[in-house]
Amino acid sequence: MARARVSLGVDLGGVQLPTPVLGASGTFGSGRELAPVLDLSKVGGIVTKSVTLRPVKGLPTPRMVETPSGMLNAIGLQNPGIDEFLEKEGPFIRGVGVPVILSIAGKSVEEFVQVAMRAQHVPGVVALEANISCPNVERRNQVFACHPDAAAEVVGAVARLSRLPVFAKLTPDVTDIVEVADACVRAGAHGISLINTLLAMAIDVETFRPRLGGVTGGLSGPAIRPVAVRAVYQVARALPEVPIIGMGGIRSARDAVEFLLAGAWAVAVGTASFWNPESVVDVGRGIGELLVRRGLRSPADLRARVVVEEEEAGEPAHRGG
Amino acid sequence: MARARVSLGVDLGGVQLPTPVLGASGTFGSGRELAPVLDLSKVGGIVTKSVTLRPVKGLPTPRMVETPSGMLNAIGLQNPGIDEFLEKEGPFIRGVGVPVILSIAGKSVEEFVQVAMRAQHVPGVVALEANISCPNVERRNQVFACHPDAAAEVVGAVARLSRLPVFAKLTPDVTDIVEVADACVRAGAHGISLINTLLAMAIDVETFRPRLGGVTGGLSGPAIRPVAVRAVYQVARALPEVPIIGMGGIRSARDAVEFLLAGAWAVAVGTASFWNPESVVDVGRGIGELLVRRGLRSPADLRARVVVEEEEAGEPAHRGG
Amino acid sequence: MIRKKCEVLSSRRAGVYHTLTLVAPEIAEVARPGQFVQIAVPEGREFLLRRPFSIHEASRRGGWAGTLELAFLGTGPGTTWLTQVQPHDFLDVIGPLGKPFPYPRQLTNCLLVGGGYGAAPLYFLAKELNARQKRVDMIIGARDQDRVFKQVEAKRLSVSIGITTEDGSLGDRGRVTDILPGMVSRTGAEVVYACGPNAMLRAVAAYCADHGIPCQVAVEELMACGLGVCWTCTVPVIRRDGSGWDNLRTCVEGPVFNGARVWWEKWLREPSVPTQTPPHGFRMEEAGVGGEPWPEHE
Amino acid sequence: MIRKKCEVLSSRRAGVYHTLTLVAPEIAEVARPGQFVQIAVPEGREFLLRRPFSIHEASRRGGWAGTLELAFLGTGPGTTWLTQVQPHDFLDVIGPLGKPFPYPRQLTNCLLVGGGYGAAPLYFLAKELNARQKRVDMIIGARDQDRVFKQVEAKRLSVSIGITTEDGSLGDRGRVTDILPGMVSRTGAEVVYACGPNAMLRAVAAYCADHGIPCQVAVEELMACGLGVCWTCTVPVIRRDGSGWDNLRTCVEGPVFNGARVWWEKWLREPSVPTQTPPHGFRMEEAGVGGEPWPEHE
Ligand SMILES: Cc1cc2nc3c(=O)[nH]c(=O)nc-3n(C[C@H](O)[C@H](O)[C@H](O)COP(=O)(O)OP(=O)(O)OC[C@H]3O[C@@H](n4cnc5c(N)ncnc54)[C@H](O)[C@@H]3O)c2cc1C
Ligand SMILES: Cc1cc2nc3c(=O)[nH]c(=O)nc-3n(C[C@H](O)[C@H](O)[C@H](O)COP(=O)(O)OP(=O)(O)OC[C@H]3O[C@@H](n4cnc5c(N)ncnc54)[C@H](O)[C@@H]3O)c2cc1C
Ligand SMILES: Cc1cc2nc3c(=O)[nH]c(=O)nc-3n(C[C@H](O)[C@H](O)[C@H](O)COP(=O)(O)O)c2cc1C
Ligand SMILES: Cc1cc2nc3c(=O)[nH]c(=O)nc-3n(C[C@H](O)[C@H](O)[C@H](O)COP(=O)(O)O)c2cc1C
Ligand code: FES
Ligand code: FES
């Protein structure tokens, strides 16, 4: 009865999801790989592994390190390139029956645009996610998402030329993430995906070698959740009208609700799928139960509902110490 | 015999420490509080809780939240002000017999300078640590360490007017930490302390309220170690001549050695002292044992020894995904 | 403050509560009622911080000499783990920590008010007060019958006891503050000691302040270290001379505070806090602040 | 690929190794030698990822029907925890994963080479090969006597066995590759299967490639998921047509690879890698690549 009135569906400004919980890019494949251990019909959607224009072989192993409550990865965006990807995964995407957000990556504005143009006509793909938080080799030690103007350039070009809504995927490794998000939105981003991994490193104290073939890598998992919730809170306060897909360390419905309360419109589960491939479904179900318990009707009823008293409010400053 | 040749002492460009392991600011008091459970004569040094010009009452509780492999704190720099601090702690600092680095904080360049002037004449204080990664209320949502020029302004003023070497304590919440570190050094910083906590947030999913009275807070503990090691690695590669005090999630000698290999000249233990108040001593002893085992003579023999092959080298870029 | 690896002598259930007896002669020897210990959690878990527990019993003499007893509820990961420790396991314990309950100088009639597991330290206190020829009466409050903590022992230690449960399953239905006035007049209470949920302490302290009864409360606040170095555990307390207030550390200046001096409105964050300045001094006068009925803490 | 909560039937020590028997009929039914399972670690720990383990035995018939056996060393936190699981505990298991060892079409003489716990999957393989009327001989290598894995069972399953230990405490002093040539000629080996440390596999594969002996190796690489979605577990493998190479996933396209097609120099990162292009094709020819002696994996 109470349950009957609850719907898990969310509307990301026109992008309809059956549940607010997506499989995060690079941690869910295209969904196909997990089908044997997961009821795909129950996921909110799938964000594909980022695809580039040409095939990328990626970085040498080791490509991962376990760290306290998290892990580092340094894959280097290995992927078969957009053409082979569409050939191999297109039919599956068409038939999977849940919304697919295709994640695109590239080293130049031009490459992003070309991938987007090829990707946008695949039935089943409801949106693009521009992974601008990946290595930009044209400007060393930089990623597009580290600079509002560079980010806007990429996202703007893709948004102008593609018929699909574009989510800009941002990194927390910036001085002012709101500034970057704002620039992306002004440039035409439909929404913002937060957060990508944190740039990090681990060293083997026996061999003195970096524990990743790529030397540095991205930190993910529960360890980063508080940073991700903060990023979502900051961006949601500044851009309340902009759909936000929140992620970073989510492994339970309670974790996900933290993101919704902070201002996310939907969430994505990444690393948690590695140990519990059913996480995306479990988290969705758990959100439903919580809604019932609270007498709420929709995940949207939780959005940005965090209670911050006026005296406390104001832009968050660093309170450490 | 082998042990006999090993010395744990390190020289931070003139600042001599008996061991490379310090108690981190805000987690070690002035050392006095921990004396009953810790042999202070065995620590490498003490970095005091940050002191401001006037007394600060700090933020409302709750002031901490436990998070996966870490914790958030939002103290708001509660302290009695430099005058009462020196009155209360001066005698102890004078007599403690290990180097004390006095951490200073403020809302303006002027305040930093005034605190520094009062602090510098206390016997036992061997250096100042300018905590420029604390809230700067004159520019909301900003901390000095978020902007190279602001950071340089503060550090430069303190360095010019104080007879003590100044370490600039930086936050990882920036787009380019090397740029900030470089600006501080050019302005006269003697060394760099990395890292302060990451800006983060947690929300109570039952009450919908932030779990910190300060709304946002700083993430510390093992969870952030890979971010800290990366920050030290970046700064050490760019500024090999500059003494670096590395910290962030250190709880064992192996953790500490990661920082030394990445380029730290010394390390500080923060959160780990909360569950093991003897951490600072245990980590120091463990480094000594590792030196013996490796047939090395000094912690300096580990400094920046991480082996990065040329093909791999180049500025670290974001490798996530 | 002593740090020791303490052997677990026994781990028992007491209703919904668990009690743990530790072999800790050095700590038991110096422990006083109201103080607490910090217990380290096992390595390799995703939670790291020590957990604070009041000292329920500290036996210095007799068969259990040199032992500490703790009583707790298995709620989150830390206390759940603690319910699973076995006899002969060793725990890393730091204690005794914090300021104990002060004993009254002249006054003799003491009323002890405990809520939930908050009653735990009051049994240790009752024994010490009895040993000092004070009259002890007790009020034990809880949500329901199962949560009423050790009523039998309470009866043994006090002249009279009152019990309240929110569901009325035992004693009077309601809260401790409902029967507080009656108990105060019946027992001629001159001093009140309270430990339990902060909201309960606030209500007890308010009543005592309004009626000029000296009141000591043992509070709880989140603690990262328990050793005085992190400043996460503060409570706003009004200065004895009324000149202002300070955020004092529960782990060092507390957990026992003068109930009349805790600035409850600010601490427990009523949205209705009108002002940032402390409430005017009269309460403190009535509560005998200034000429307090007990010696200042050393 | 099946996910099940599997009851632990037994947990035993075998020298320095531990063996775990799990009730897992669905997985045992379809498991083949060379495949592995991913075991979830308990919640609340600071390590999160599943641990991969080769299938040492899969009993489909007889007394132990429907069980899986794993063999492992307690090294880090995950395997140390696993040594402590008790009978009747339940483990969250995903399997069978990866590509199994292919069986030769016509060739009959099989030499199985195992190092350390790497020998574990070879016993399962030996049984399946025997069941197919193949001749099985084995080489078991280890650091020392205690690390020689189940030599008695090895003897039972093979026509002859050779043992090497680095300290000479059992069998020949040295490495498996020291006795490999002799064993090959003595047993008339036509096919080699190897599992063990990657460095050992590399040496075995090099010998086989140089002597034109088809060689299948089961490799190890760090795995975050084991399910094919994270791409952390890749190994550089030369294309069958020699046209280039690809980073293939150990958990999907492996862990069993054609030893002649693995680009060892690149994978194991010899500083001496001269070039970024794969070694020229001749090895692959000799190793019979192209016209491979076993059916391609489905
Ligand atoms: C001085 C003092 C004495 C205490 N005495 C007792 C006692 O005798 N019996 C008993 O059952 N409990 C007592 N508590 C509360 C007890 O410390 C918490 O219940 C326990 O720490 C919860 O840990 P957890 O992992 O089970 O729960 P979690 O909620 O997961 O703990 C998360 C974090 O919050 C802290 N925390 C949670 N609840 C409390 C609380 N109520 N007070 C302080 N910190 C908290 C924990 O220490 C931990 O750091 C006392 C607390 C204090 C401050
Ligand atoms: C296909 C495959 C089959 C395996 N079969 C066996 C077996 O039958 N018996 C056995 O004892 N071990 C086996 N291993 C190795 C085993 O998975 C590791 O020893 C184990 O994961 C170590 O976990 P830990 O927490 O004890 O060590 P840690 O070093 O703390 O593990 C840290 C991380 O590194 C990974 N890791 C560490 N060592 C290895 C390794 N050698 N290979 C892959 N990942 C590793 C862990 O999975 C974990 O993610 C196999 C590995 C693979 C890839
Ligand atoms: C409770 C707490 C209080 C802190 N207070 C200060 C402070 O006053 N000044 C400062 O520079 N850093 C402060 N820090 C940051 C630490 O010095 C250290 O940089 C950070 O915690 C990372 O190290 P860790 O992970 O070992 O704790 C504080 C950290 C904690 C946990
Ligand atoms: C192994 C791995 C690969 C990833 N690959 C990508 C990728 O290709 N594109 C992308 O946008 N994000 C990628 N990510 C980042 C995740 O999508 C997600 O933003 C991040 O991991 C934080 O969420 P989590 O903590 O739930 O994993 C990857 C993460 C992991 C762990
Ligand atoms: S808990 Fe750290 S100061 Fe009280
Ligand atoms: S371990 Fe994830 S793809 Fe192989």
DSSP string, C106-167: S--EEEEEEEGGGGHHHHHHHHHHHHTT-EEEEEEEESSGGGS--HHHHHHHSS-EEEEETT
- Give the tens place of pLDDT for each residue, A271-307: 999 999 999 999 999 999 999 999 999 999 999 999 9
- Percent of chain C as helix, strand, coil, to the nearest 5: 25, 30, 45
Residue C173 forms contact with D (CB below 8 Å): no
Which residues 208-247 of C have a C-beta within 8 angstroms of D?
Answer: none
**Residue A176 buriedness (CB in 10 A; 0-12 / 13-18 / 19+):** middle
Between the CA of B200 and the centroid of ligand 6 the distance, in Å, is 30
Residue of B nearest to C244 (CA): B57
Residues in chain C with CB shorter than 8 Å from the CB of B26 are: 229-231
Angstroms from D24 CA to nearest CA on chain A: 16
Which of A70, A25, A69 has its CA nearest to residue A48? A25
Q: Provide the pLDDT for residue A4.
A: 56
For residues D105-110, average pLDDT? 88
**CA–CA dist B48, B101 (Å, integer):** 6
Phi, psi of C200 (to 5 degrees): -65, -45
Average per-residue pLDDT for chain B: 92
- Give the tens place of pLDDT for each residue, B293-315: 999 999 999 999 999 976 544 44
CB-closest option in A143, A227, A312 to B318: A143
Residue C76 forms contact with D (CB below 8 Å): no
Cross-chain Cβ contact A321/B175 below 8 Å: no
**CA–CA dist C84, D287 (Å, integer):** 58
Those residues with Cβ within 8 angstroms of residue C127's Cβ, 6 or more apart along the chain or in another chain: C33, C157
Residues in chain A with CB shorter than 8 Å from the CB of D41 are: 275
Pairing of the two strands B266-269 and B21-23: parallel
Q: What is the pTM of this model?
A: 0.95
Would you say residue B145 has pLDDT above 90?
no
Q: Provide the pLDDT for residue C292.
A: 61
Q: Provide the pLDDT for residue C296.
A: 46
The torsion angle over the Cα atoms of residues A283, A285, A291 and A292, rounded to 10 degrees, is: -150
**CA–CA dist C9, C22 (Å, integer):** 5
pLDDT level of residue C297 (50, 70, 90 thresholds) = very low
- A-interface mutation test, from C43, C45, C46, most A Cβ less than 10 A away: C46
ipTM, two decimals, is: 0.94
Would you say residue C61 has pLDDT above 70?
yes
Active site residue A184: no
For residues A246-261, average pLDDT? 98
Would you say residue C272 has pLDDT above 60?
no
Ligand 4 pocket test, candidate residues A220, A252, A259, A276, most atoms within 8 A of CB: A220
Structure tokens at C248: 């004092």
Residue A141 forms contact with C (CB below 8 Å): no
Q: Provide the pLDDT for residue D43.
A: 94
CB-closest option in C50, C224, C247 to B58: C247
Would you say residue D11 has pLDDT above 50?
yes
Would you say residue C62 has pLDDT above 90?
no
Ligand 6 pocket test, candidate residues D37, D220, D227, most atoms within 8 A of CB: D227
Cross-chain Cβ contact B33/C47 below 8 Å: no
Among B134, B174, B195, B283, the active-site one is: B134
The secondary element (H helix, E strand) that includes residue A170 is: none
Residue D271 forms contact with B (CB below 8 Å): yes
Cross-chain Cβ contact D247/A57 below 8 Å: yes
Structure tokens at C228: 């005085």
Between the CA of B219 and the centroid of ligand 1 the distance, in Å, is 20
Angstroms from D147 CA to nearest CA on chain B: 25
Cross-chain Cβ contact D230/A58 below 8 Å: no
Q: Provide the pLDDT for residue C86.
A: 95
For residues A156-178, average pLDDT? 96
pLDDT level of residue B46 (50, 70, 90 thresholds) = very high
Residue C77 forms contact with D (CB below 8 Å): yes
- Give the tens place of pLDDT for each residue, C173-230: 999 999 999 999 999 999 999 999 999 999 999 999 999 999 999 999 999 999 999 9
Angstroms from D224 CA to nearest CA on chain B: 13
**CA–CA dist B274, C270 (Å, integer):** 31
Residue C46 forms contact with A (CB below 8 Å): yes
